[in-house]
Structure 1
């Protein structure tokens, strides 16, 4: 398996929001000259230990930067064969992974947590003429009928998985593959230098298979403590009320080939943000696709299926939404008469 929409988002940073709470992300608003996008960067993990591993090179020199200034603004999907534009923490010679250290998400004193570290360099790129951000990860959107849940622009569009995407624990193994790691590269032309920010979860391993990206059998196992220091206002998980997040739409029969284009739209009707890490959507045949991210209160998100999990039948069927405890949260049914090419079914 792998990330289906791995690529690079090139844009000028305009605004940002610090990550707080369980599954916190540092949110960056970028502009490509035509459209706006959001870069969602993990700064905290829901899986203990909560602190992410990070490494920053504030004078990054690597062949990968030679090709970046020539890229057009906006998102570019990177072919699997284009390894000169793909990141791999294990094989790519980007940096020494043994130098990665954990850093808390939010510490009361100034300038010493992961939120502030990322903000420092994003601010530099925003303030400098020609300053540019390159985010490596997986794209979502564009969501033509949904505004962005953090910055409000339309159409909703962005990139996430800005971290190592191999050596995952069993729950996330489907995302594993070599040469698809995320990260941030920031160009500061007035200072003639590049900044590189690389991130990984402590639950990941760095001894991975060259073909699958899975942890090798002899890979050291990360010992996860029963408790770890909690930051970013992390609270004990609360049960989410059934019906808080609902399925409001499904694109069952997209124009052209269905695979990789089918989607389901979720809406958070509750008064609070809902983290959907570990949630899943299931089709009528029992195939599932795992979910990640967060849906803000009163906002929605479109889930695009790769074709390797959920497949929506044109003959009609059932679509079910489960939380991370496998509780059924919402379910809808549709018939063949509701299926129209290129149209989204509204529930």
Structure 2
């Protein structure tokens, strides 16, 4: 079943400790909020299964993601985010690594937890950013599951696509992933740190977050074996057409050297409205084309755009904010 007490905790980090020799080591982040005493977050730095390594992604610029607006209005403290099953999250706060377009999937790295050389393990990724956040008095938004004791939070990582250990498979669910998101007030900069286990599935079912057996692709497969999932990229989107101009559209580019059929592929927004591409839709090798999306209205207040293939496997995803509205929005990549 999904996590029982999933939510986001807004706080201010004060210190941290690192376990280096434990069987399942954690980095413990201590933080304070308006409640007074320090609470803590247990952040996995090693998996408990045979594939012990973690995957991490760093999004150094989350200022243009719709999540920024949703988080900005939160008061300090823990905010429980009720299970929305497979429906879009009305609060805009729940995280989903597969469906939320939170980072560039292919920019992930798989690292062990502690190698005795600089800049080559997961601790080397975490420590500089935690030190900076503590020094600058940044706000941290910790996503995960609150302990029953209410004094801390864990499962600060992807919580779906678990396959290797049965007891973890029971925690699968959509829109319940964990992460660390920091806001540095002096520069108004938002960055996100996202974690998964190398053995977790890249594609998951939309009802329960289970691994899709049709795909059988794990993060280890995708990021180490150079399996290319992003055969098509989302290059542009016209969200706010000039008066009298045609309707909204999304521009797709074929990244391969062969013609691709896009028949029955889907373009989806954050509300899960979707445009099913027609039977004859296709892209020639390295070609770019605009596709009208009358059944998938994109919000001028910020939205996500996800491209799914005919088997409902995610191929590409982007996001934009309300500030990116002048003419077609161009996405990097």
State the TM-score, normalizing by the size of structure 2: 0.60
Which whole-Å CA distance do the structure 2 matches of 1:224 and 1:78 have between them? 30
Which whole-Å CA distance do the structure 1 matches of 2:107 and 2:97 have between them? 12
2:146 matches 1:139: yes
Q: Which residue number in structure 1 is paired with residue 152 of structure 2?
A: 158
Query: What per-residue deviation string (whole Å, max 9, x for no partner) do you get for residues 96-139 of structure 1?
Result: 3232220121121234321131121111111114x111110000
Q: Which residue number in structure 2 is paired with residue 107 of structure 1?
A: 115
Query: What per-residue deviation string (whole Å, max 9, x for no partner) do you get for residues 282-323 of structure 1?
Result: xxxxxxxxxxxxxxxxxxxxxxxxxxxxxxxxxxxxxxxxxx
Which whole-Å CA distance do the structure 2 matches of 1:173 and 1:49 have between them? 15
Q: Count how many residue pairs are aligned between Structure 1 and Structure 2.
A: 211
Runs (4 or more) in structure 1 with deviation over 4 Å come to 221-225
For residue 80 of structure 1, give the secondary structure of its aligned residue in structure 2.
coil
Q: Which residue number in structure 2 is paired with residue 14 of structure 1?
A: 14
Q: Which residue number in structure 2 is paired with residue 38 of structure 1?
A: 40
- The 5 Å alignment of 1:184-263 reads 184-222=180-218
Which whole-Å CA distance do the structure 2 matches of 1:27 and 1:223 have between them? 25
Which whole-Å CA distance do the structure 2 matches of 1:223 and 1:121 have between them? 24
Contact in 1 for aligned 2:157/2:177 (Cα 8 Å): yes
Which whole-Å CA distance do the structure 2 matches of 1:41 and 1:118 have between them? 10
Query: What per-residue deviation string (whole Å, max 9, x for no partner) do you get for residues 147-183 of structure 1?
Result: xxxxxxxxxx111111110101151221111100111
Query: What per-residue deviation string (whole Å, max 9, x for no partner) do you get for residues 181-202 of structure 1?
Result: 1111011121221111111111
Contact in 1 for aligned 2:25/2:45 (Cα 8 Å): yes
Q: Which residue, out of 161, 178, 183, partners 2:179? A: 183
2:174 matches 1:167: no
Q: Which 5+ residue runs of structure 2 have no aligned equivalent?
A: 222-333
Contact in 2 for aligned 1:163/1:198 (Cα 8 Å): yes
Contact in 2 for aligned 1:48/1:224 (Cα 8 Å): no
Q: Which residue, out of 76, 80, 89, partners 2:79? A: 76
Q: CA deviation at 1:141?
A: 3.4
Q: Which residue number in structure 1 is paired with residue 2 of structure 2?
A: 2
In 2 relative to 1, CA 142–207 (structure 1 residues): closer, same or farther, beyond 3 Å?
A: same
Which whole-Å CA distance do the structure 2 matches of 1:223 and 1:179 have between them? 18
- Which piece of structure 1 moves more, 81-90 or 3-12? 81-90
In 2 relative to 1, CA 183–223 (structure 1 residues): closer, same or farther, beyond 3 Å?
A: closer
Contact in 2 for aligned 1:57/1:197 (Cα 8 Å): yes
Q: Which 5+ residue runs of structure 1 have no aligned equivalent?
A: 144-156, 226-347
Q: Which residue, out of 122, 125, 128, partners 1:120? A: 128
Which whole-Å CA distance do the structure 2 matches of 1:35 and 1:208 have between them? 38
Q: Which residue, out of 50, 56, 60, partners 1:48? A: 50
Q: Which residue number in structure 2 is paired with residue 23 of structure 1?
A: 24
Contact in 2 for aligned 1:22/1:45 (Cα 8 Å): no
Query: What per-residue deviation string (whole Å, max 9, x for no partner) do you get for residues 227-256 of structure 1?
Result: xxxxxxxxxxxxxxxxxxxxxxxxxxxxxx
In 2 relative to 1, CA 110–224 (structure 1 residues): closer, same or farther, beyond 3 Å?
A: closer
For residue 116 of structure 1, give the secondary structure of its aligned residue in structure 2.
helix
